[in-house]
Structures are given as C-alpha cells and as structure tokens.
C-alpha cells in the first residue's frame, strides 16, 4: 500500500469529490430530507401566489401610473408593469434562491451539524451541494410557476415564448442558489449575513430591474452588465415580450457558468470544512 504525503493528498481529496458515479445515492435523499422538513410548511410555499399578486398590483396601480410607457425589448413602447414584471420574476428567483441557501444552510452546517451526519453515510460533498441547491431550485420553480400564471392572468405576456420564463427562472435560481450556498460556507457568525445582503440588495436595485439600462450614464453601464441578475432580467424581459436574439445565449451562458462554479466551490468547501 502506498504512503500518502501532503502533496499526494491534495489530488486525492479532489478525486473524492469529483466523480459523481462514486456516490451511491446521488443528491436525491438530501432533497427528500428538505421535503420532509418542509412538509408542514407547504402552506407557505403555496401562498407564494399571493406575493406576485401583491407586487404586480403595486406596480400596476402605483408605479405604473406614475410612469406610463417605457422602452421595452426591441425598442417597442410597453406599459411599465409589463416592463417590470419579468424583471421582478428574475429578482424573486434570485432572492428566493439566496434566502434558501444562506440562513438554513449556515444553520445546518455550523450549528445542527446536519452535513456531518450526512458525511458519515455513503453521501459525499457533491451530493450535499447538489441536493441542497436542487431543493432551492425546486422551491424557486414552484414560485415562478405561480408568478408566471399571475402575469398571464394580468395580461402581461405578449408571446408564446413566455412559457420559457419558467425554465429561465430555474436557471436563475440554480445560479444564485449555488453561489449563495458557496458563500454561506465562508460565514462564521450570523451577523455576517449582512454581507450577503450587501451584495444582493444592489443587484436587486441596479440590474435594470426598475428602469431601462439607458438611464445610467454610458460610463457606468458596464457595471450593470457585470451583474448576473442583469443577465437574468434581460433574458426574461426578452422572453416575455417575444423578442428573441442571440444575446440570450450569452445571458444563459453567464448564469450556467455561475451555477457550475458555485456547485464546485460548495463541494470543495464542504469537503475542506468537514473532511479535515
């Protein structure tokens, strides 16, 4: 048998994390745990219908009346509420995903030691990362279906491509859930959650969510393009209006890359923290 020294151990640790086939279970049983925990809070999840109604109503009767028409995708003039609704869907996919993968994950990682218990079984760090992220995406998916239905009822969808809003919301959820979970593994005290807000709130407010990117001076627009939420917003705005173009591939690619980086980083961090 070989003897391991420090330099050989590094790669071995990565090997332990990467090949998915070596994990007997896959993330399914991790998702199942979350479903059981939340089996009694389905009411809250279903009540997710109420929230888009509240938001969209506020924008229809309130903000919309202040603004009137704005320039939407492809240069056409649209009602303000139709302009903002897809962006709100993207933003709430982000908020939901980040919420679901920060406080609960921190609690399970640092206090309840749920992941330590999982790692004593055949499950590995990749299972945990994918399982927890998938749960956030599932919740986000339920919510976004509700949101899109409300949009449809309010007459805010002008294209059959709008059915793609749901998968687009899943991509946004996945991207932010995996990055959110990766960041959570770095937090050491609950007060540090404010740092996550410090990132999320500006993304929410400044990703061309509430007004067109043209409002910004030319010189700072690149900053908006750096925001991952901006890519989600643009993608959804195009789909809701039925204005498709090549840039959408770029938006999806950015979000998919974030998702991949997040899953890899989360797996490595959980391995480093708990398999020491």
Partner 1 sequence: MSNWRAMWLRVEGHWAWYRRYWRSSLYSSGIEPLLFLAAMGLGFGSQVEAGAATGGFEYLHYVAPALLVAGATMSGMGEASFPVLSGFKWQKDYIAVTATPITPGQLLGGQLLWLGIRLGLSGAIYGLVALMFGAWLRPAALLVVGVGVLTGLACAAPVMALAAATYDEGRRFVVMFRFVMVPMMLFSATFFPISQIPLGLRWLTWISPLWHGNEIARAAALGGAHPLAVAGHFAFLVVLLVAGVALARKLFYRRLVV
Partner 2 sequence: MARDGEDDEREHLMVSGKALVKRFGGVAAVAGIDVEVRRGESFGFLGPNGAGKSSTMRMIACVSPRSDGELRVLGMDPETDGPRIRARIGVVPQLDNLDVELTVRQNLQVYGRYFGLSRAQVRAKAVELMAFAELSDRADDQVEPLSGGMKRRLTIARSMVNDPEMLLLDEPTTGLDPQARHLLWGRLYQLKQQGVTQIITTHDMHEAEQLCDRLVVMDGGQIVAEGSPSELIRRFSTREVLELRFAPGEQDGQLPHVADLAGRHEVLPDRLLLYADDGEAALEAAHARGVRPVSTLIRRSTLEDVFLRLTGRSLVD
22 near partner 1 (CB under 8 A) = no
Angle in degrees, 0-180, between the axes of helices 165-184 and 80-106, rounded to the nearest 10: 30
67: partner contacted, choices partner 1, partner 2, none (Cβ within 5-8 A by kind): partner 1
SS (H, E, C) 19-78: CHHHCCCCCHHHHHHHHHHCHHHHHHHHHHHHHHHHHHHHHHHHHHHHHCEEECHHHCEE
71 bridge partner residues: 77
- Of the candidate residues 112, 153, 163, 257, the single one contacting partner 2 (CB under 8 A): 112
Q: Which 71-90 residues touch partner 1, going by CB under 8 A?
A: 80
Phi, psi of 120 (to 5 degrees): -80, -5
226 near partner 1 (CB under 8 A) = no
Stretch of 23-31, 92-100, 187-195, 243-251 lying at the interface with partner 2 (CB under 8 A): 23-31
Overall residue count recorded for the chain in this entry: 276
264 near partner 1 (CB under 8 A) = no
Quote the CA–CA distance of 31 and 246 in Å, as a whole number. Answer: 35
Phi/psi region, residue 23 (left: phi>0; alpha: psi -120 to 50; beta: rest), is beta
Nearer to partner 2, 131 or 140 (CB): 131
Stretch of 10-18, 147-155, 211-219, 243-251 lying at the interface with partner 1 (CB under 8 A): 211-219
Q: Which single residue is written with the structure tokens 């398999």? A: 275
Quote the CA–CA distance of 108 and 181 in Å, as a whole number. Answer: 12
211 near partner 1 (CB under 8 A) = yes
Give the interface with partner 2 as residue ranges (CB under 8 A).
Answer: 1, 3-6, 9, 12-13, 15-16, 22-25, 29-30, 32-33, 36-37, 112-114, 116-124, 274-276
Give the interface with partner 1 as residue ranges (CB under 8 A).
Answer: 41, 44, 47, 50-51, 54-55, 58, 61-63, 65-67, 70, 80, 189, 191-195, 197-198, 201-202, 205-206, 210-211, 215-216
């Amino acid at each position: 048998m070989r003897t391991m020294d420090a330099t050989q151990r590094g790669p071995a640790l990565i090997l332990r994390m990467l090949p998915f086939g070596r994990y007997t279970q896959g993330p399914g049983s991790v998702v199942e745990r979350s479903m059981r925990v939340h089996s009694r809070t389905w009411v809250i999840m279903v009540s997710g219908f109420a929230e888009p109604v509240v938001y969209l109503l506020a924008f229809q009767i309130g903000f919309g009346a202040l603004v009137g028409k704005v320039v939407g995708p492809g240069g056409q003039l649209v009602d303000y509420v139709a302009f903002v609704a897809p962006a709100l869907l993207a933003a709430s996919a982000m908020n939901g995903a980040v919420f679901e993968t920060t406080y609960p994950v921190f609690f399970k990682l640092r206090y309840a030691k749920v992941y330590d218990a999982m790692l004593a079984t055949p499950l590995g760090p990749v299972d945990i990362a994918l399982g927890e992220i998938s749960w956030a995406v599932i919740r986000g998916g339920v919510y976004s279906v509700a949101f899109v239905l409300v949009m449809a009822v309010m007459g805010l969808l002008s294209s059959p491509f709008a059915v793609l809003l749901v998968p687009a919301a899943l991509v946004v959820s996945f991207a932010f859930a995996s990055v959110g979970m990766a960041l959570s593994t770095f937090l050491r005290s609950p007060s540090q959650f404010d740092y996550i807000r410090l990132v999320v709130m500006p993304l929410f407010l400044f990703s061309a969510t509430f007004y067109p990117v043209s409002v910004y001076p030319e010189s700072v627009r690149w900053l908006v393009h750096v925001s991952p939420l901006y890519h989600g917003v643009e993608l959804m705005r195009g789909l809701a209006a039925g204005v498709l173009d090549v840039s959408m591939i770029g938006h999806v690619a950015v979000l998919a890359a974030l998702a991949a980086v997040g899953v890899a980083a989360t797996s490595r961090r959980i391995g480093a923290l708990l398999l020491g």
